[in-house]
A and B are shown apart, each in its own frame.
Chain A
Amino acid sequence: AQSVTQLDSHVSVSEGTPVLLRCNYSSSYSPSLFWYVQHPNKGLQLLLKYTSAATLVKGINGFEAEFKKSETSFHLTKPSAHMSDAAEYFCVVIPGGGGNKLTFGTGTQLKVEL
């Protein structure tokens, strides 16, 4: 069985400060991992994906995520938050060993304050 846990339902940061959104996964095999972002009244946009090529993954809009197998984590970071980063963020997993079904975390609402 595979699942994904987002540890914080809400995160609030000040503009210009770092962002950390936490995600832990469980998978019997080497998984594919993704972060998606959903802005209000918009669809989901793929931020980045882990595909086993490199443990540090760079995505769009300055976001990064690091795959740590020993910690079964895939936390999303950004050095400096911008107001436009305010959105819902979903950590998503596909188990390795075949299959294409996405399993979504419960989401983290990021608030960016002036």
Chain B
Amino acid sequence: QQQVKQSPQSLIVQKGGISIINCAYENTAFDYFPWYQQFPGKGPALLIAIRPDVSEKKEGRFTISFNKSAKQFSLHIMDSQPGDSATYFCAASTKEGAQKLVFGQGTRLTINP
């Protein structure tokens, strides 16, 4: 059972453009939503995370937008750079199961120079 659905599977963006990756979830008990970045041969690295009491969180070029009523959240990468080319995963966890992250299927992002 896929509790977090991520789209698109792959994305190509021109340098300087905005990359947008979307996730939808089903479990209304989720209360922590992180995004991870993974380069080939490396483990995922935490980029940014949000809790459902806010609708947006920004850190540098990375922004999470959160829509609690629609049960959706998205990652926006502004001024995308070739170094941002990686696989991105959204994830979610509940307060009770805080230690157990449920990941989306991943989005392979390619930034063309």
**A-B complex is real:** no
Measured CB to CB, the residues of A under 8 A from B are none
Measured CB to CB, the residues of B under 8 A from A are none
